[in-house]
Amino acid sequence: MYIGALTLDVLLGDVRSLKQKRSAVRPIIAELQKRFPVAAAETGDTDLYRRAEVGVAMVSSSPAHCGEVLDACERLVAARPEIELLSARRRLFNEEDW
């Protein structure tokens, strides 16, 4: 069993309040969960208007499948025109890591 984790640091476009931030981040998370077998949530920078950290996690039987799905998640977020993907960090855990 493998657990893949992806942390995406994004810069939001024309956002001037936390309410606007939520309305920009929610559709991203919903689309990730709809298109891929992953769990996704806003995991950091919750008090900043224009920055968001989105965490994505998945469980798979092979490390290659984890990598493919997390790559596709990263591409999906990077392709959105209203945000800028600043960084993406990925970790892969297996049963021996715990």
pLDDT tens for the 98 residues of the chain, in order = 999 999 999 999 888 998 999 999 999 999 999 999 999 999 987 888 899 999 999 999 999 999 999 999 999 999 999 899 999 999 999 888 76
Strand partners, 5: 57, 91
Could you tell me the pTM of the whole model?
0.89
Q: Which fold has domain 2-90?
A: Alpha-Beta Plaits (3.30.70)
Environment class of 10 (CB within 10 Å of its CB; exposed 0-12, middle 13-18, buried 19+): buried
Residue extents of the structural domains in the chain: 2-90
Structure tokens at 53: 């950290």
